[in-house]
Amino acid sequence: MSLLKVESLRKSFASGGIWSATRKVTHAVSDVSFEVARGETLAIVGESGSGKSTTARMVMRLLDADAGNISLLGEDVTCLKGAALRRKRRHMQMVFQDPFASLNPRMKIVDSVGEGLRVHAPDLNRQQRRQRVAEILQQCGMDASIMDRYPHQFSGGQRQRIGIARALVVSPDLLVLDEPVSALDVSVQAQILNLLKALQEKHNLAYLFISHDLSVVRHVADRVAVMFAGHIVEQGKVEDVYAHPRHPYTRALLDARPVIHPAQRRENNAENAVSNDDDISAKVLEAGEPDSGCPYRHRCAQAQAACSDYQIELAANWNNHAVACLFPLVANDR
């Protein structure tokens, strides 16, 4: 049984006044399904506007889904409310992108980190709570003596450690990490990625790891789901997807990564430089009709007439490597 199971999740947002002629409906997430097992990392990768953060927030029940099911530990949590939802939250916790914004500047570290314990372990007295906070801070590489300080006294990397401690203090099973290292310098990013890995092994944690950074995802994730315009367009083991991308979008994303050595420099691609379809994904999202063909077809070199009638559907093939494309790329040995 998987720890987290998400089925056919949907969410749309409306913008513009209720009676306004310019009212638009944006389908942020359409028919998204995935599972995360204990001790496993599933990464959701995509560009801005792809719906990856919306998906994470729905899993955490910070946003209500329009349709679909979310079950955690075998129990449907899609419609839980109030005390029942709070009890369930002990099992899932979130780490946010911006370590500067996600800690209350007026609360001491001990109170921020220990806040979850007040709800989920109300029998602990003050002293026991401090002890638990000290223990978890140490696991996150922070000295227990910082407990009585305030967030502004820490650097970005230290705050992210505190943010992780805050999530871990209630011993969750699942961590939803929304771009946890994007705001950090590369040397600090490496420290935090190492920490996340060590904590995962120690506590057998499951991670739902949201990121736009393909290199980070390759490093941390077991499986990856690639999102485009609210759909998962490809899903599979990281090694399979990176070595043999089958969706044209995945391939384009992988090809767009900067090189790692100047000798591999992509010499000037003048056509690329002056073709501007940067904003296609944004336009697609606003187009309104989520099911009228493949959302990527406007940007896709392989697109054919049939793509405009294609009901996008993630179809699994060998090795649980699934792709939502009428004309998937043939596996090669890139």
By the criterion CB under 8 A, which residues form the site for other proteins? Answer: 47-48, 155, 157, 185-191, 193-194, 197, 212-216, 218-220, 238-239, 252-253, 255-266, 268-270, 272-276, 278-279, 282
Question: What is the distance, to the nearest Å, from the Cα of residue 175 to the centroid of all Cα atoms in its chain?
Answer: 10
Residue nearer to other proteins on the CB measure, 23 or 86: 23
Residues 6+ positions from 251 with CB-CB distance below 8 Å:
245, 329
Which has the closest alpha carbon to 98: 40, 157, 183?
A: 183
Which has the closest alpha carbon to 52: 316, 198, 187, 253?
A: 253
Output the smallest distance, CB 73 to other proteins, in A. 27
Contact 237, 319 (CB under 8 A): yes
Q: Token pair for residue 73?
A: 């530990």
Which has the closest alpha carbon to 62: 31, 19, 18, 102?
A: 102
Amino acid at 231: H
Which has the closest alpha carbon to 209: 85, 40, 91?
A: 40
Which has the closest alpha carbon to 119: 90, 91, 141, 147?
A: 90
Paired with 15 in beta bridges are: 24
Amino acid at 21: A
Alpha helices in the chain (DSSP H): 52-59, 82-89, 109-120, 126-139, 156-168, 186-203, 214-220, 238-243, 248-256, 270-274, 280-286
Residue nearer to other proteins on the CB measure, 68 or 248: 248
Tell how strand 92-95 and strand 24-36 pair up.
Answer: unpaired
Distance CA 223, CA 241 (A): 9
N- to C-terminal Cα separation, the chain: 35
For tokens 């899903």, the residue is 235
